[in-house]
């Protein structure tokens, strides 16, 4: 059996699993691509290897407080390290698209 990861899980009163949503492979990337098909401009923000496919699928990408190895390996994606830098970068991107 292939292991599956879920992102929500509810437990019923009797202790059984009441419901869950399976985490899709490349789910974040699929969301970014789906938004683009609806003609949205996508600004993606991530911090780890798990987010790279989403960041690359987006129109604009920002690494937010990534580990040094992620920042180094994906130097083409701008990195910011505090909330004010992130806010400023997002505002710059929004102003460019108008």
pTM of the model: 0.75
Per-residue pLDDT of the chain in tens (98 residues, 90 and over written 9) = 444 445 566 777 887 777 766 667 788 899 899 999 999 999 999 999 989 999 999 999 999 999 999 999 999 999 999 999 999 999 999 998 65
Residue 71 exposed, middle or buried by CB count within 10 Å (0-12, 13-18, 19+): middle
Provide the β-strand partners of residue 63: 46, 79
| pLDDT at position 3 | 45
């Amino acid at each position: 059996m292939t292991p599956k990861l879920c992102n929500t899980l509810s437990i019923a009163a009797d202790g059984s699993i009441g419901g869950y949503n399976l985490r899709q492979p490349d789910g974040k990337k699929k969301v970014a691509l789906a938004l683009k098909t609806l003609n949205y401009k996508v600004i993606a923000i991530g911090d780890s290897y798990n987010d790279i496919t989403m960041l690359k699928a987006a129109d604009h990408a920002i690494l937010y407080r990534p580990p040094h190895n992620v920042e180094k390996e994906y130097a083409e994606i701008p990195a910011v390290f505090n909330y004010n830098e992130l806010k400023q970068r997002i505002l710059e991107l929004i102003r460019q698209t108008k």
